């Protein structure tokens, strides 16, 4: 039997042979020891392929890009890499970040002659680079720094403030300086030839190139640090209120700049782009807390929440203007919180200790007026055993402190609104930044003979023609990446029958909505029956937990409907992030196998209803539009032999959630020769793991529970029992450093899964990575508009050796378009550059949810949607009951990862995610 056929003919009867009898003296450990030697027999590891040729199709268009040419004059020199360590006088290592730059600056000032006057490129941590060697391979210095805690350094924490002033010692508060002695050890680590940069530009990339460019990146970071910027990876942010945008909740978006060196076909270039990070609103702590908790005054603040929020933030305390790190809040309000105050002896000369309240001390001893601090907690900047208290109103948050929690929907919307820039404004801001950065004055760059041009690089783009689309009543050409259904009918309508409406207390004229939906469906050529009923939520459950509300609604539906519905339209009361969404989807898809569409009707018009119908039709198995070349079938290569297209993505929890499983989704095309219909397979895996670990998962000699087997069998059954000869993989969300893993770990698993299905079957593979998270932007020199949809660039700013291209398939309506950067890692099928670019462009036009070309190929968008939607299932779970012992493996060893519930047969091969 062909193993593509699902088992069904009594395969349980054929038992595997009995296990061999193991002699009692065999030690089982040996088998385990032999396992690691096995990969040694494997074939050599794959590397990304080189570019074969350039594309030529499309109308030519001049384009400017935010890459600035870098000239490197010194090819013969070497960068010398030294490792640096700091310790206190007593030998304890220095823990605090941020103090390093100050110590290194002091070393350079104090010991210039012993260092032969060399300039340093220091990364702020343990690495230091020079052009040419230092006089000796190991150098030791001692330096003294005054008053470390009182001034901050580029967004890193000051060291732990030993001996921060305690209220019990008043003289200490007044003493302006405390000095500290540090020992510094600088020892030689490696030598990096600058020639590596020149080699890379000829397409011979080496480890040394990455290192050499890292040194140049560090020089730019150091340049920014000297100007007092906050550094976040390869971006820097100036402390300039002009760059701050309030997004609510005491959080500001801070605009700064990303800069990185890249090797391109036309040489080394510096890529500079606008970038945004989130910071805490600087100024009085009380103002921040009121904004953060959205309360009216200090007396309404939730102090338990405030304590968590404030921990480790830095403040300046008036009137001394000293800087401290917050360690917590006092247990008692300021007027009740006491501490021991030493006072100099009176007539008899003995010192005495008295207990005073913090409030009393500041008001009576220090004569500082306090308006509202008496009844709220104090800020503690001391050690757990030796607290140091300040009244709330004397504390101000220092600027440029990062806010790292995830943003609320409202904050995110506000950020997008306030940070978008039209292309010309963005160009102006970038030009100004480059001019004001004054890199020519950076001695380290001068020593390497590096100069950076201030003009945008001009490249030649090509605008590909949009593919023709097929509808139910004819064909049409999209214009400017858009089309509509005004006089058009759906290409392949699916009948909407045996359905009902469910209203979770959304304020809405439900009957009117149904009437308009029926009318709209009729005009688009979708056959639709009247709904069986409209179920309004019982008001007594509105305050119940989401899972209970969903259960109660289902009890109601089951008691009234004659049989299971084929479709449910669900009205939710909140536009975004309704907590009913996850439990509702889970109940429908995993327990009952019912297709469902959620809407939150605010402004209902014909356009809105059309969009809802497009999603419903796709979910029920219809197609709204398809490519004319897909209909006829005449797509180069893809239409000639059975071809499956995969989209792969992994979504991770928000930055703060390290324990939430990552969710891997793979979608696959079905019903070849179509490339517009997909189904998804979604699995959980260990948190923050980027490689998909369930592609091939053999559980016995005959059984594979992996993702690929499921998708290949579906393709086979839906494509007239044909196995795919070509497998085209689009992978999202991996960086260049992970390309080799995609080629050697993920692709190997996919090949093994195929061999497991059929040993004789040898499909050909294409592997393409899509990146949206990069900083290359395009501008038109002669127009204020974004580049036209279909703009492709594969020259000049692309990689000197590897096969990559940029494509802007969509029409950028707001802000500046972000092209997608596609990297072709493998092509065994043999596409020409034009054929591959056209296929990728066409796949941006098959997204069933919208009437526009999208910015990245549809299979990747679908994988993202499927992962997000099924991720909602997990939110309301009690972890313990869904845990399974065989999760992925994280750095902490084997961690159990809760598994997603399986979708019902009826919906698992549908576009439920659409």
What are the distances in angstroms from CA 472 to CA 485, 488, 675, 677, 844?
Answer: 10, 7, 17, 16, 20
State the Rg of the chain over Cα: 32
Count of alpha carbons within 13 Å of 534, Cβ hemisphere only? Answer: 15
Q: How far is the C-alpha of 202 from the C-alpha of 197, rounded, in Å?
A: 9
Is the model more confident about 883 or about 771?
A: 771
pLDDT of residue 67: 95
**pLDDT confidence of 501, banded at 50, 70, 90?**
very high
The predicted pLDDT at position 37 comes to: 45
In this predicted structure, what is the pLDDT of residue 675? 94
- Average pLDDT score over residue span 50-61: 93
Q: What is the DSSP string of 160-218?
A: --TTPPPTT-HHHHH----EEEEEEEEEEEEEEETHHHHHHHTT---HHHHHHHHHHHH
Helices 747-757, 707-718: inter-axial angle, 10-degree rounding: 60
Residue 524 has φ and ψ, to the nearest 5°, of -90, 0
For the residues of 571-640, what is the DSSP string, one character each? E-SSSS--TTHHHHHHIIIIII--EEEEE--SS--HHHHHHHHHHHHHHTT-BS-EEHHHHTT--TTTTT
Q: What is the pLDDT of residues 423-444, one digit of tens each?
A: 999 999 999 988 888 888 888 8
What's the pLDDT band for 14 if we cut at 50, 70, 90?
very low
Residue 672: pLDDT band (50, 70, 90) is very high
CB-CB contact of 158 with 152 (8 Å): yes
pLDDT at 290 over 70: yes
Rounded Cα–Cα distance for residues 797 and 818 (Å): 15
- Whole-number pLDDT of residue 342: 80
b/e code 358-378 from CB counts within 10 Å (16+ = b): bbebbbeeeeeebeebbebbb
Computed over every residue of the chain, the mean pLDDT equals 85
Per residue in 587-640, pLDDT tens?
999 988 999 999 988 888 888 999 999 999 999 999 999 999 999 998 999 999
Burial class (CB in 10 A: 0-12, 13-18, 19+), 34: exposed
Q: Taking residues 194-203, what's their average pLDDT?
A: 81
Q: Per the structure block, which two tokens stand in for 707?
A: 């993702």
**Separation between Cα atoms, residue 812 and residue 855, nearest integer Å:** 9
User: What pLDDT, on a 0 to 100 scale, did the predictor assign at position 7?
Assistant: 53
pLDDT in tens, 536-570: 988 888 888 999 999 999 999 989 988 889 999 99
CB 84 within 8 A of CB 800: no
Averaged pLDDT for residues 394-401:
93
Mean pLDDT of 207-212: 83
pLDDT of residue 43: 66
- pLDDT tens digits, one per residue of 108-152: 888 888 888 888 999 888 999 999 899 888 888 998 887 555 333
Token pair 């499956």: residue: 644
Domains, the chain: 283-344+351-398 (2.170.260.10), 493-622 (3.40.50.2300)
Q: In the 8-state DSSP scheme, what is residue 817?
A: -
The 3-state secondary structure of 229-274 reads CEEECCEEECCCHHHEEEEECCEEEEEEEEEEEEEECCEEEEEEEE
The predicted structure's pLDDT at residue 39: 46
Q: What is the mean pLDDT of residues 475-504?
A: 92
In the chain, pLDDT over 90 holds for what percent of residues? 47
What percent of the chain is modeled with pLDDT above 70?
88
Give pTM, 2 decimals. Answer: 0.86
- Alpha-carbon distance of 218 to 177, in angstroms, equals 31
Chain centroid to CA 187: how far?
37
pLDDT tens, position by position, 158-179:
333 333 344 444 334 444 446 7
pLDDT per position as a tens digit, 864-877: 999 998 888 876 55
Over residues 659-683, the mean pLDDT reads 92
Half-sphere exposure at residue 78, Cβ-oriented, CA atoms within 13 angstroms:
10
**Pair 230, 272: CB distance under 8 Å:** no
pLDDT at 892 (0 to 100): 43
* Spacing of C-alpha 256 from chain mean position: 18
Reported confidence tier of residue 656, pLDDT bands at 50, 70, 90: low
**How does pLDDT run across 337-379, given as a tens digit for each residue?**
888 888 776 555 567 788 888 888 888 888 888 888 888 999 9
Residue 880 has pLDDT above 80, yes or no: no
What pLDDT sits at residue 339?
85
In angstroms, the CA 841 to CA 823 distance is: 14
Return left, alpha or beta for 481; rule: phi > 0 is left, psi -120 to 50 is alpha, else beta: left
Quickly count: other Cβ atoms within 10 Å of residue 355's Cβ: 9
Residue 838 has pLDDT above 80, yes or no: yes
Element (H, E) at 428: helix 423-437
> Is 102 in a helix, a strand, or coil?
helix
Element (H, E) at 480: none
Cα-based angle 230, 236, 240 (whole degrees, multiple of 5): 65
Q: State the residue for tokens 């709204």.
A: 624
pLDDT single digits (tens) 398-408: 999 999 888 88
* Mean pLDDT calculated for residue range 12-35: 45
Q: Are 659 and 670 in contact (CB under 8 A)?
A: no
Around 550, how many Cα atoms within 13 Å sit in the side-chain half-sphere? 20
With beta carbons less than 8 A apart as the criterion, state whether 339 and 167 touch.
yes
The 10s digit of each residue's pLDDT in 707-745 is 999 999 999 999 999 999 999 999 998 998 899 999 999
């Amino acid at each position: 039997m062909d193993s593509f056929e699902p088992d069904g003919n009594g395969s349980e009867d054929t038992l595997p042979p009995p296990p061999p009898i193991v002699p009692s003296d065999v030690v089982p450990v040996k088998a385990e020891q032999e396992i690691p030697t096995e990969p040694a027999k494997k074939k050599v590891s794959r590397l990304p392929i080189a570019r074969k040729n350039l594309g030529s199709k499309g109308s030519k268009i001049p384009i400017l890009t935010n890459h600035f040419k870098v000239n490197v004059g010194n090819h013969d020199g070497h960068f010398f890499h030294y490792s640096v360590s700091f310790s206190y006088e007593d030998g304890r290592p220095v823990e605090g970040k941020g103090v390093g730059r100050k110590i290194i600056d002091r070393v350079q000032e104090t010991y210039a002659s012993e260092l032969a006057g060399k300039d340093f490129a220091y990364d702020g941590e343990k690495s230091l680079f020079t052009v040419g060697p230092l006089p000796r391979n190991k150098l030791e210095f001692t330096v003294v720094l005054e008053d470390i805690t009182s001034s901050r350094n580029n967004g890193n924490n000051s060291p732990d403030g030993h001996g921060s002033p305690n209220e019990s010692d008043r003289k200490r508060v007044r003493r302006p300086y405390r000095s500290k002695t540090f020992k510094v050890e600088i020892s030689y680590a490696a030598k990096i030839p600058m020639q590596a940069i020149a080699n890379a530009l000829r397409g011979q990339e080496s480890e040394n190139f990455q290192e050499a460019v890292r040194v140049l990146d560090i020089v730019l970071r150091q340049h920014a640090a000297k100007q007092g910027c906050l550094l976040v990876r390869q971006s820097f942010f100036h402390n300039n209120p002009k760059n701050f945008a309030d997004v609510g909740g005491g959080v500001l978006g801070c605009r700064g700049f990303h800069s990185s060196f890249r090797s391109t076909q036309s040489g080394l270039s510096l890529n500079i782009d606008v970038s945004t990070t989130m910071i805490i609103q600087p100024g009085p702590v009380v103002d921040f807390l009121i904004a953060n908790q959205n309360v009216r005054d200090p007396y309404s603040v939730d102090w338990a929440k405030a304590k968590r929020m404030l921990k480790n933030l830095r403040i300046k305390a008036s009137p001394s203007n000293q800087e401290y790190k917050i360690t917590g809040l006092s247990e008692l309000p300021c007027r009740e919180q006491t501490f021991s105050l030493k006072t100099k002896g009176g007539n008899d000369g003995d010192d005495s200790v008295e207990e005073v309240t913090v409030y009393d001390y500041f008001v009576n001893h220090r004569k500082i007026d306090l308006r509202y601090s008496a009844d709220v907690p104090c800020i503690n900047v001391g050690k757990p055993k030796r607290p140091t208290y300040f009244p709330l109103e004397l504390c101000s948050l220092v600027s440029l402190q990062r806010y790292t929690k995830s943003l609320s929907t409202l904050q995110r919307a506000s950020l997008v609104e306030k940070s978008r820039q039209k292309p010309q404004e963005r160009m102006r801001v970038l030009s100004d930044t480059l001019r004001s950065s004054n890199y020519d004055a950076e001695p380290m760059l001068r020593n390497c003979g590096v100069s950076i041009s201030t003009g945008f690089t001009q490249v030649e783009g090509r605008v590909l023609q949009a593919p023709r689309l097929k509808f139910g009543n004819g064909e049409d050409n999209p214009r400017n990446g858009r089309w509509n259904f005004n006089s058009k009918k759906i290409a392949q309508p699916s009948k909407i029958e045996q359905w009902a409406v469910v209203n979770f207390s959304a304020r809405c004229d439900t009957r009117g909505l149904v009437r308009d939906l029926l009318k709209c469906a009729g005009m688009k050529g979708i056959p639709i029956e009247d709904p069986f009923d409209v179920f309004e939520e019982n008001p007594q459950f509105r305050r119940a937990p989401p899972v209970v509300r969903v259960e109660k609604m289902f009890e109601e539906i089951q008691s009234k409907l004659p049989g299971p519905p084929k479709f449910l339209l669900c009205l939710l009361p909140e536009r975004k992030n309704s907590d009913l969404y996850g439990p509702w989807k889970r109940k429908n898809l995993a327990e009952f196998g019912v297709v469902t569409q959620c809407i939150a009707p605010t402004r209902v018009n014909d356009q809105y209803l059309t969009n809802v119908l497009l999603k419903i039709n796709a979910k029920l198995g219809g197609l709204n539009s398809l490519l004319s070349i897909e209909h006829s079938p005449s797509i180069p290569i893809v239409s000639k032999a059975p071809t499956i297209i995969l989209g792969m993505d992994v979504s991770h929890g928000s930055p703060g959630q390290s324990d939430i499983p990552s969710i891997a989704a793979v979608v696959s095309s079905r019903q070849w020769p179509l490339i517009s219909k997909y189904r998804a397979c979604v699995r959980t895996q260990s948190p923050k793991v980027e490689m998909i670990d369930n592609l091939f998962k053999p559980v016995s000699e005959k059984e594979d529970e992996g993702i690929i087997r499921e998708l290949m069998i579906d393709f086979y059954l839906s494509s007239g029992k044909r196995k795919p000869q070509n497998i085209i993989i689009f992978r999202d969300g991996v960086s260049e450093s992970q390309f080799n893993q995609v080629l050697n770990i993920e692709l190997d698993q996919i090949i093994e899964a195929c061999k497991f299905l059929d040993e004789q079957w040898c499909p050909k593979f294409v592997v393409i990575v899509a990146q949206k998270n990069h900083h290359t932007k395009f501008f038109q020199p002669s127009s204020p508009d974004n580049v036209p949809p279909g703009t492709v660039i594969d020259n000049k700013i692309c990689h000197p050796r590897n096969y990559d291209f940029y494509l802007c398939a969509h029409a950028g309506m707001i802000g500046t378009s972000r092209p997608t950067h596609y990297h072709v890692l493998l092509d065994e099928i043999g596409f020409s550059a034009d054929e591959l670019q056209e296929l990728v462009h066409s796949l941006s036009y098959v997204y069933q949810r919208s009437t526009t070309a999208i910015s990245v190929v549809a299979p990747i968008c679908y994988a993202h949607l499927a992962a997000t939607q099924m991720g909602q299932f997990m939110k309301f779970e009690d972890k313990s009951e869904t845990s399974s012992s065989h999760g992925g493996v994280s750095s902490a060893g084997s961690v159990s990862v809760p598994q997603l519930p399986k979708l019902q047969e009826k919906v698992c091969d549908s576009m439920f995610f659409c």
